[in-house]
Amino acid sequence: MTEPAGQQTAPAEPPLEVLLAGVDPAAVDLLLSTLAAAAASYRRATCTVPFPSALFESPDGRDYAALSANLQALPPVEQLAAAAAAGRLSTAEAALLRWALTRPRRPAAGIRRCMLRAVQEQLPSMTGWLADIGHNPSLRPQAALQLSAVPPALAAGDARTRVLAFHGTSMENVWSILHNGLLNASGTRLERTGAAFGKGIYFSTELPVAFSFSQPADGWVHSALGRRVSCVLVCSIDREHAQGAHNSAEVPDRYIICERMDAVQMHFLFLYRDDALPPTSPLAAAAAAAAVGAGGVAHPQQLAQAAAAHVAGTVAAAAAHRRLRISPLLLVLLAYGGWLLYVWTAQNWPFLRRLLRRQLGIRL
């Protein structure tokens, strides 16, 4: 039977197992983990952009519960292809997986796992972060993924046209960031951390500063990258649109602000497991020695085995340590509050002396 004139049959979609074969398993894991973290966030309406509306949206609104349930029901990455080929995925699970793998803005095939050595080789002009990792082992990511190609000039060590910097964020934001880029949310309802030094997207030239803004979030339960993860992006910014101490008196040292979203390119993503062993643990040292290869990134399965062998109290202590990290902005606010208290006390000291003497009998 021939097709009517002017009509063409739509190309058949490749089987899921074929799609999975062409994608780095870490990229699949990243997409599912970031979508799961976004769907579980209290800001899920903005974090889950794009959203699989054709699958989990009705006239009553988005069904985040169904999205999360189908994500968490997917088997681990290494079992996905076999489960798809054997028909063990439900219709909704298979459709969701296909949708996540074929989003056009950030093709999954363009994301791949890499070693820290590859980051160093492709960004030779960015060197301070290696020393920071040496001084503070908790800054060493458990996984690194390359998101886009590095411009040839940067790879050759020429940083005259672009500035290299880090951006710390939560796992719940990464799904939207991967597909829409970093957004300038200053002055909008999406603003989360303020705009102390002006409007724009905030970066830091130092890894520890960006790391302090990377808050962990729960993601996909079967993730080999970690069930609770925080992230730091390695980006380059068009120098013409980068505001820093080199060209602005309002921006302090170590910070970079960029108002234009199209001036930012995201090259690498550092992932930190919140359930990883603390670096001071003897067991963590043994696991790192066995797991860290030439590039210095620990294999997630080896880290998971080490974590499983460790006592639950040590893991809980590590998680508590990460949750107790104090934001630099909070320190600034506390210092400002202390200064205001000092000024008020100095201006009202005679009144305070009379009050203490009359009410409490204290003479100063």
Three-state DSSP class for residue 298: coil
Mean per-residue pLDDT, 288-296: 43
Residue 342: pLDDT band (50, 70, 90) is: confident
Query: pLDDT for 120-137, tens place per residue?
Result: 999 998 888 888 998 999
| 316 or 63: which leads in pLDDT | 63
Helical H segments across the chain, by residue range: 16-21, 25-40, 44-47, 53-56, 64-73, 77-85, 91-101, 116-122, 128-135, 152-155, 171-180, 207-211, 282-291, 300-309, 312-323, 328-347, 349-360
Name, in order, each residue with C-beta under 8 angstroms of 204's C-beta and a sequence gap of 6 or more. Answer: 165, 166, 167, 168, 210, 254, 255, 256
Contact 83, 75 (CB under 8 A): yes
pLDDT value for 130: 87
Mean per-residue pLDDT, 77-91: 95
Q: How far apart are the first and last CA of the chain?
A: 104
Mean per-residue pLDDT, 319-333: 63
Mean per-residue pLDDT, 69-98: 95
| 32 or 344: which leads in pLDDT | 32
pLDDT value for 284: 41
- The least confident of 32-36, 50-54, 194-198, 262-266 is 194-198
pLDDT at 308 over 50: no
d(CA 237, CA 212): 21
Tell me what the pLDDT averaged over the chain comes to.
80
Residue 63: pLDDT band (50, 70, 90) is: very high
Residue 277: pLDDT band (50, 70, 90) is: very low
Q: Which CATH number fits domain 109-323: 1.25.40, 3.40.50, 3.20.170, 3.90.228?
A: 3.90.228
CA angle 64, 323, 282 (to 5 degrees): 120
Query: pLDDT for 137-180, tens place per residue?
Result: 999 999 999 999 999 988 888 888 899 999 999 999 999 999 98
Contact 163, 246 (CB under 8 A): no
pLDDT at 108 over 90: no
Contact 225, 271 (CB under 8 A): yes
d(CA 335, CA 82): 57
d(CA 139, CA 95): 37
Residue 7: pLDDT band (50, 70, 90) is: low
Residue 294: pLDDT band (50, 70, 90) is: very low
pLDDT value for 165: 94
pLDDT at 5 over 80: no
Q: In the structure encoding, which two tokens stand for residue 215, read together?
A: 């808050």
